[in-house]
Structure 1
């Protein structure tokens, strides 16, 4: 019985990502709590999640070579207080232009979306994520574009793009466009 439940969970988790259409090769859709669907930008390349808490992970590269700089994109349901999460994200950066560190709140349909722009020297925890206590590597000229999507009933979904500043900033418009799916 336990094996059946585990297998069913894996099938359901994998089944939430599916191609959108033949007109957009490589694009996918992600289900939000079985109610809304976000269309993933075609440039985002699916990759295996580096952490077990991440539901979906993608990469975006500056160019199509193996050693090209890339940004990591993670998507997952999450909990906790919105401001506490934003504050934690801010502690992952040192320096940067204070005028460019911003948070904005959008209302999209009956959802609330918090968009967070951060940049500076990123303190990346290697080997398991921010709570693992692993080695910290400082990455110069990095940025994070974060989205906290708050369901009308309070459930939360996180989308984070983290990587070299220019690469992350170039994803802002695509990410904001993804949120249009929450209007329906």
Structure 2
């Protein structure tokens, strides 16, 4: 009887945990001062490093793990232009170097907060071991990012990066995510 009750409880807890990612959910940033809505199917995961405040796994269109993208969210310093230049420098253009003209930018207003949307494609020079580790070339990658200048909470960076096909599929939802960012 106790064993059956424990198994039933475990199944209930597991089903609730799985259901969590199947519905949109609010995520708090800046110790609860900011909130955004994470879309259904985009799973919250352990951030890749301590700088990242929140990270979401974005599934590939075919559902395979190797085609997944990630959405990282963090507060940081530096000007909008300096950060765009840094992001451009993480990509190699067709001529071998960073192609600053390849970055598409767009100014937005997100619930009263100025934001800059950035869109880049090419070979991503990933640094999985940090900025001083070896670079890993990831061809056919895309970055869609938003630099949001919040009121009182600093500058927030939303960065969707991954294989071109996955980011292409997720770009519309990314815009929907950043449109939900608001002060609590």
Q: Name the CA distance, whole Å, in 2 between partners of 1:99 and 1:165.
A: 19
1:32–1:157 CA contact under 8 A, matched in 2: no
| Bigger radius of gyration | 2
The equivalent residue for 1:27 is 24
Please identify, of 145-154 and 91-100, the stretch whose mean Cα deviation from structure 2 is larger.
Answer: 91-100
Q: Aligned to 1:126, what secondary structure does the other structure show?
A: coil
Q: TM-score, normalised by structure 2?
A: 0.76
Q: How many residues are aligned here? A: 160
Q: Give the direction of change, closer, same or farther, for the CA distance of 1:127–1:26 in structure 2 (3 Å limit).
A: farther
CA root-mean-square deviation: 2.6
Structure with bigger RCO (C-alpha 8 Å, 6+ apart): 2
Q: Give the direction of change, closer, same or farther, for the CA distance of 1:152–1:90 in structure 2 (3 Å limit).
A: same
The equivalent residue for 1:36 is 34
Within-5 A mapping of 1:114-129 = 114-128=116-130
Per-residue Cα deviation, 1:50-98 (whole angstroms, up to 9, x for no partner): 11111111212223344x4111211111111111001000011111598
Q: Give the direction of change, closer, same or farther, for the CA distance of 1:60–1:35 in structure 2 (3 Å limit).
A: same
1:56 aligns with 2:54: yes
Q: Give the direction of change, closer, same or farther, for the CA distance of 1:82–1:127 in structure 2 (3 Å limit).
A: same
1:36–1:181 CA contact under 8 A, matched in 2: no
Q: TM-score, normalised by structure 1?
A: 0.76
Q: Name the CA distance, whole Å, in 2 between partners of 1:45 and 1:23.
A: 9
How far 1:152 sits from its partner (Å)?
Answer: 3.0
The equivalent residue for 1:173 is 172
The equivalent residue for 1:92 is 90
Unaligned runs of 5+ in 1: 1-18
